[in-house]
Structure 1
Amino acid sequence: MPSRPAQAPSFARACTIALPEPQPLFAGAPPAASEDEADDSDEDDDDDDPPERGLVLPGSATCLSITGTVSAGMQRDSFRASRSGPPPPSNATSFPVSAAFRIATSHELASGLRVGTAFGFTLYSPVDGASDPSIDEATILIGPWTFGLDSSRFSFWTGDEFIFSARVPSRTVGIIALDLPLTESWTATLALEDPALGNTSSTAPVPTGRRVPDAIGRLVYEQGGWTVHGAIALREIPGTPSRFGRAGIIGATYEGEGFGHGWSLTGQIAGAIDGAPYLGSVLDARTVSRVLLASDATRGFSAVVSGRFEWTDELASNAYLSRYWLEVPLANQIRGEIRIDRFAANLVWTPVEGFKLGIENSIAWAKIALTGREIAAGLAGRQISTQVFVERSF
């Protein structure tokens, strides 16, 4: 019998994770670009974040990418209690460590439809008595649709430039979302979200007995150095009678360059009636969840201003200032109030890609006036935190 010809060995091939890119609903004819504009466009493309790289394994047509970030450091916290609150905890020094991992795939079907998946989780060292891992993402992307656990489409500023974002669980929700590109610059999103399925349930009060998930509508504009985000949310509050909470947010970021230095500025304001989980940062939500009940009637707002300045290609600094204010009408008192002000700044050195070393300082003032509610030590008053950290990404 004739021998079979030897098959050439197959090897893993490099690839990039490509997200679905639906055509805009109202796409117009692109204007003719001059040579100078084309050169500027090429420079802008170079400045964008590089695509997520992976490998196509032998015998497979799926691109697989595994990435991660390990963060470690030393943190010093000092407390001063408010006059009406319980005594503060003792000043403390801790050594927080966290490790985040993400597995993503991308596959294009014969029909041209692109399907993607992503799964991410974070492991934490025991801080505040909590050391359980958190699931940050578990999604399936089919064309313009997203299913699974992901960040809320209502959120805009997340504080990724600050180390606190690696120290506390991210705000994830169960989600079904449809992203609709309207033009080259405008994208609309419609989503149904269930905070009880994600990490949000551990950082903000979620009412039980709900019959319908939260409804989110979002509109995003991206052009040049601008990103503008506007969203509204509607959520059911069970009770007798049941009612609906609502929230709205508007935020914008501008990224520019002047005198050889890159910089960016972000501003955001959100307001809510019976929608406290949509206000503030993750740190604010974690504080409020320890004193607020899901059935409480609330109204309030949150605002933040954040900036970044790149001194050199390796050295950058970030700062933000935020306010959280919530009115809580309660029985036997005129009103309850929660107010949290925060300021933080850091200096980050990135000598090589994937490695960061920095120092960050933050101060928070919290006033909690809720008659009849137990206020844990350290929640009301002033807290100053200083962190020295190192971070490695791969």
Structure 2
Amino acid sequence: MSRLALILALAGAPLALEDAQAASPRPQPARAPALARSCVIKPPDVSPLFPSAEAPETAGTDDSKDAGDDDDDEDDGDEAVPGLVLPGSATCLAISGTVNAGLQYDSYRIPKAGDAAPRPAYSWPTSASFRIATSQDLASGLRVGTAFEMMLAPSKDAPDTVTISEATVTVGTMTFGLADSRFSFWTGDEFAFSARLPGRNVGLIAWERDLTERWNLALSLEDPTLATTATIPTVNGRVPDGIARLTYVNGPLTLHLAGALRDVPASASGFGRAGIVGVTYEVEVGGSPGSLTAQIAGAIEGAAYIGSSLDAAIARQILVPADSTRGFSAVIAARREWTDEWASNIYLSRYQISVPFVDQSKGKLRIDRIAANLVWTPVDGFKAGLEGSIAQTNVALASRVVPASLGGRLLSAQLFIERAF
């Protein structure tokens, strides 16, 4: 073989080897298993309808921008819910809940009840809630979400009571389903007495949008007769109730203004109405953070929209849907965080309903309440505390049978623990 032929043969050997390797099947590397990714469900970032002009950038913009991003993250943390995106899915799924238990003591003082008055007693109230929420951003940028929450609050009369607190579908700025009324403001969730009662909900179709960086507008059509939680009995209107709410947030100040208009066929005017003004201001006392809250609400033929869940639990045992009502409710509440682990809350409230225009039952219902607690939160998701309340109920409704346990003074105290997950 000539030297030229040998060189050509050696040069072609690698090509022949590559052809042989290409002809033979090459083993494929093993794919890494798909894992769930963490995500966060939070309100959609929708620009205000009337955005304000941006301030001109100055020196040190990068540092201020980073600080602003950190502040935004902290602000989102109050409403953000951590979740997981499952493999093969683009939907964020979040599961959460709470378990609350305690030892409670109740003492009654009802002068006119005689032997019918309940005796002082101890009880072991427990409750649990379970919530599933989903969120997905479509390719168009539209956010679609769902939420379902149920609550178990057994009692000696109803040991298997399960209540649906929320069942909603959200598409962009629209919400449909069963949820808390857009009318409500202060709910008293800082107190175990209130937290064990499901919040009053309604069937609704709601739209919500920021008008500016500080003003938010919500409009909704609501039906209190579709509520699954404790609410005051009311007649079914021919059309849903109309709710309009304005919220203003500026640093430590939060202002809540809302009005309700409802159809009441049996009323002389044909309409019921309700209004509410609520304000919360965050303050520091002695270097410790705290807050002050005040709220006043009034209603004519709209009793379902005023008062707390505790007030509604009493009123619904006395009032009937046919009652023509007018009344108001007022609350003053304060919170003080003494350390990172210890905080206290106190509130004073009055709830008053008059039944002036019904021949078979005229009169008044009034509930005055004061409550306070001391809460220990050593770690996130766990808290324990001591809580007490005094409620004075005056019932004066003619020709109406009233349970003996509802009139007079009720003193309650409890030790409680709560675990959130």
- Which category describes the TM-score, using the shorter chain as reference length? over 0.9
Moved more, 357-366 or 159-168: 159-168
Structure 1 residue 301 and structure 2 residue 325: aligned? Answer: no
Match of 2:215 in 1: 186
User: Cα 1:368–1:240, aligned 2, differ >3 Å: closer, same or farther?
Assistant: closer
Q: Which residue of 2 aligns with 1:176?
A: 205
- Report the equivalent of 1:284: 311
Structure-2 change in CA distance of 1:255 and 1:85 (3 Å):
farther
- 1:41–1:382: structure 2 CA closer, same or farther, 3 Å change rule? farther
The answer for the alignment partner of 2:149 in structure 1 is: 120
User: Which residue of 55, 59, 69 corresponds with 1:31?
Assistant: 55
Separation in 1 of the partners of 2:151 and 2:234?
22
Q: Indicate the residue corresponding to 1:207 in structure 2.
A: 235
1:238, distance to aligned residue in structure 2 (A): 2.8
CA distance in 1, matches of 2:320, 2:114: 19
Match of 1:317 in 2: 344
Measure how far apart 1:5 and its partner are: 5.5
Closer/same/farther in 2, CA of residues 287 and 86 from structure 1, 3 Å limit? farther
Aligned residues: 392
* 3-state SS of paired residue (2:54): coil
Code of the residue aligned with 1:66 in structure 2: it is I
Helix, strand or coil at the partner of 2:74: helix
1:360 aligned residue (375, 387, 396): 387
Match of 1:54 in 2: 83
Structure 1 residues 127 and 157: CA distance shift in structure 2, 3 A: farther
Cα distance in 1 between the residues matched to 2:371 and 2:244: 31
Look up the SS of the partner of 1:25 in the other structure.
coil
Q: Work out which of the residue numbers 393, 397, 405 in structure 2 matches 1:370.
A: 397
Identity of aligned residues (%): 55
1:8 aligns to 2:36 (yes or no): no
Conservation of the 8 A alpha-carbon contact between 1:82 and 1:382: no
Query: Match of 2:118, as an amino acid?
Result: P
- 1:314-352 deviation digits (Å, cap 9, x = unpaired): 000000000011111155589511110000000000001
CA deviation profile, 1:17-43 (whole Å, cap 9, x unmatched): 132232211001222477697658845
Gaps of 5+ in 2: 1-23
Q: Which residue of 1 aligns with 2:10?
A: none
Instruction: Return the offset for 1:169.
Output: 2.1
Change (3 A) 1:6 1:43: closer
Q: 2:276 aligns with which of 236, 249, 256?
A: 249
Q: Is the 8 A contact 2:356 2:363 kept in 1?
A: yes
Q: Which residue of 2 aligns with 1:96?
A: 125
Q: What is the letter of the counterpart of residue 378 of structure 2?
A: P
The Cα offsets for residues 57-92 of structure 1, whole Å up to 9 and x where unpaired, read as 010011111011111101111111143798321211
Select which of 355, 358, 362 maps to 1:328: 355
Deviation at 1:51, TM superposition (A): 2.3
Distance 1:46 1:181, change over 3 A: closer
Comparing 135-144 with 233-242, greater Cα deviation is found at 233-242
Deviates more, 1:259-268 or 1:330-339: 330-339
* Distance (whole Å) between structure 2 residues aligned to residue 270 and residue 243 of structure 1: 21
Partners of 1:334 and 1:389 lie apart in 2 by: 40
Preserved CA contact (<8 Å) 1:102 1:120:
yes
Contact 1:86 1:375 in 2 (8 A): no
Q: Is the 8 A contact 1:154 1:232 kept in 2?
A: yes
Q: 1:150 to 1:190 in 2, by over 3 A?
A: same
Of residues 161, 167, 171, the one that matches 2:190 is 161
- Normalised by the length of structure 1, the TM-score is 0.93
Normalised to the residue count of structure 2, the TM-score between the two structures is: 0.87
Equivalent AA in structure 1 for residue 275 of structure 2: G
Q: Please say which structure displays the higher CA radius of gyration.
A: 2
Q: Deviations over 1:188-207 (max 9, x none)?
A: 1110011122235x431121
Q: Are the equivalent residues in 2 in contact too, given 1:170–1:199 (CA < 8 A)?
A: no
Supply the distance in 1 between the matched residues of 2:57 and 2:411 (Cα, whole angstroms): 52
Segments of structure 1 that go 5 or more residues without pairing to the other structure are none
Query: How far apart in 1 are the matches of 2:222 and 2:159?
Result: 25
| AA partner of residue 44 (structure 2) | P
Indicate how the Cα distance of structure 1 residues 82 and 157 shifts in structure 2: closer, same or farther if over 3 A, else same.
farther
